[in-house]
Amino acid sequence: MALRKITTIPLFKRTVTGASGTAGTSISDPIDLREISAIGNFSLSYGIVGTAATAGSTVFEYLGSPVYDGTYIAAGTFGTFGGVASGIISFSPVTIPFMKIKAVSGTSAVALITAELNVQ
């Protein structure tokens, strides 16, 4: 069996998302999928912690655009977590050449998000 290359792209590194009483959003830089998505397997490695003992709920979405510096539109939601969490979640985005990952935090507490995109 031939080995398949896996590309890992850092997205967030302890990124503050939201504030106490205010929902917040963090959006990654654009990701060029034209050269790295040969098979179409996607996963997100994530860690969500709070500035206090808890973190607000967090939703991960992906945005797509036909051009790198174009308008990115919502293309799907692939993970919802209710507080402090970590793990790996797989998802299947629509076929798009450029993508951004968006993390939306709820209003209960600030979330510190670390995440990497893995593509095969």
pLDDT at 35: 84
Compute how many other C-beta atoms are within 10 angstroms of the C-beta atom of residue 25. Answer: 12
Rg value, the chain, Cα: 15
Query: Which tens digit of pLDDT belongs to each residue from 24-45?
Result: 889 999 999 998 877 889 999 9
Please, are residues 45 and 119 in contact by the beta-carbon 8 Å criterion? no
When pLDDT is averaged across residues 54-59 and rounded to a whole number, the result is: 78
pLDDT at 52: 64
Instruction: Kindly list the domain boundaries of the chain, sorted by start residue.
Output: 7-119
Nearest to 43 by CA among 89, 102, 103, 101: 89
pLDDT at 21: 57
pLDDT at 53: 62
pLDDT at 73: 96
pLDDT at 92: 92
Share of the chain above pLDDT 90, in %: 52
What kind and span of H or E run contains 47? Answer: strand 42-50
> Which tops the pLDDT comparison, 107 or 48?
48
Superfamily of domain 7-119 in the CATH hierarchy: Galactose-binding domain-like (2.60.120.260)
